[in-house]
Amino acid sequence: MTTRDEVRTTKPDNGVADAGGGRVIEPDAQPQASAQIRHLLDVDSLTPEQITTLLDSSEGMLEVLSRDVKKTPALRGKTIVTVFYENSTRTRISFEEAGKILGADVINVSVSASSVSKGESLYNTALTLQAMQVDALVIRHPHSGAPHFVARYVNAPVVNAGDGLHAHPTQALLDLFTLRQKLGSMDGKKIAIVGDVLYSRVARSDILGLVKMGADVVLCGPPTLMPAGWRPGVSPTETGMESVRIAGDVGEALDGADAVMTLRIQRERQDAGHLPDLREYSNMYGINRRRLALAKKDAPLLHPGPMNEGVEISSDVAHGAQSVVEEQVRNGVAVRMAVLYAICSKGRDRAAGTDE
């Protein structure tokens, strides 16, 4: 795992390792246009410079998003396929809107989990999409590593839209983008993440991205919903995560925080024995006005959505002055535009024979 120290000593050089397998690709001639990434499987494969480039590009995309005529020809003639093996409304729509604003043709495929077992294997789906010459593939899957699996069999760049418990890199990027808008540099900022860290791909990617950008991350959640061994006072060498702390209670986590991120709590956790009930969860870990007041004044409150109001987040703060939930959604489109543009323009380079 990349530690903060390693990240900080990483210097921009003339070539960056791609996400797929360590091959070196050519330097980015137009930093504003492209962060030069092959696949986006998680944020761990991005350098801080690449993240910054993507966020800079997202600023421009946000401007496009606010125009009367929200259409650019940047990806005209490109076909982007989203394949969702899990129900999702916001993430799928976000990718679809991002692709369409950039002028790409976006095809959405929804595969219900129940039909997977009797239907086509992921392997054959990957080969089929490969044969159809799609320009980018956006995939969400309930199994960790499914996008990595697909990336092994298709030439098209693969964007991970959430895999199992593993990663949700575009969520991490949009969270970083939102935090940058509110806080500027992440360096030394205390970011509290509260909730179900164990089952959260959002938390995993957020932690990696925040640490990479220099933030200090404090986690808090029920001990049953933290990864094995992640307990208060654990040394970073045990978790493998530099500059990540585990707080003993939610007050300690939020105390003086520059920003607060809440995670969605799933009702299934109760059935699996992780939680007594949602009422107790809300009492002990829910973010409400009283708890939010422990953070810095005006500290932004983030939630990846969809929210269980009254459980992990009270309605008043969910829609209060510090909530940036709607900005996260809007920023999500901009960040996904930046990501799709970066990987598809990379694809154009490859088609022209300038890569590999």
List contacts with other proteins (CB under 8 A). Answer: 1-2, 6, 17, 19-22, 39, 41-42, 44-45, 121-123, 141-146, 148-149, 151-152, 163-167, 201, 204, 227-230, 238-240, 272
Using CA atoms, how far residue 253 sits from 194, 258, 337, in Å, is 8, 11, 33
Greatest Cα-to-Cα distance within the chain, rounded to the nearest angstrom: 59
The CB-of-31 to other proteins minimum distance in angstroms stands at: 21
In this structure, are strands 24-25 and 16-17 parallel, antiparallel, or unpaired? antiparallel
Number of neighbours of residue 112 by Cβ within 10 angstroms: 11
Q: Of 37, 28, 41, 27, which Cα lies nearest the Cα of 205?
A: 41
Residue/partner pairs of 29-32 with CB below 8 Å, 24 or more apart: 31/56, 32/56, 32/57, 32/60
Across-strand partners of 167? 163
> Can you say how many angstroms the Cα of residue 301 is from the centroid of all Cα atoms in its chain?
16
Nearer to other proteins, 234 or 278 (CB): 234
Nearer to other proteins, 157 or 286 (CB): 157
Across-strand partners of 109? 83
Nearer to other proteins, 3 or 108 (CB): 3
Nearer to other proteins, 139 or 302 (CB): 139
Start-to-end C-alpha separation, the chain: 27
Nearer to other proteins, 112 or 123 (CB): 123
How far is residue 328's CA from residue 190's CA, in Å, rounded to a whole number?
19
Nearer to other proteins, 197 or 311 (CB): 197
Nearer to other proteins, 72 or 270 (CB): 270
The CB-of-13 to other proteins minimum distance in angstroms stands at: 15
Q: How long, in residues, is the chain?
A: 356
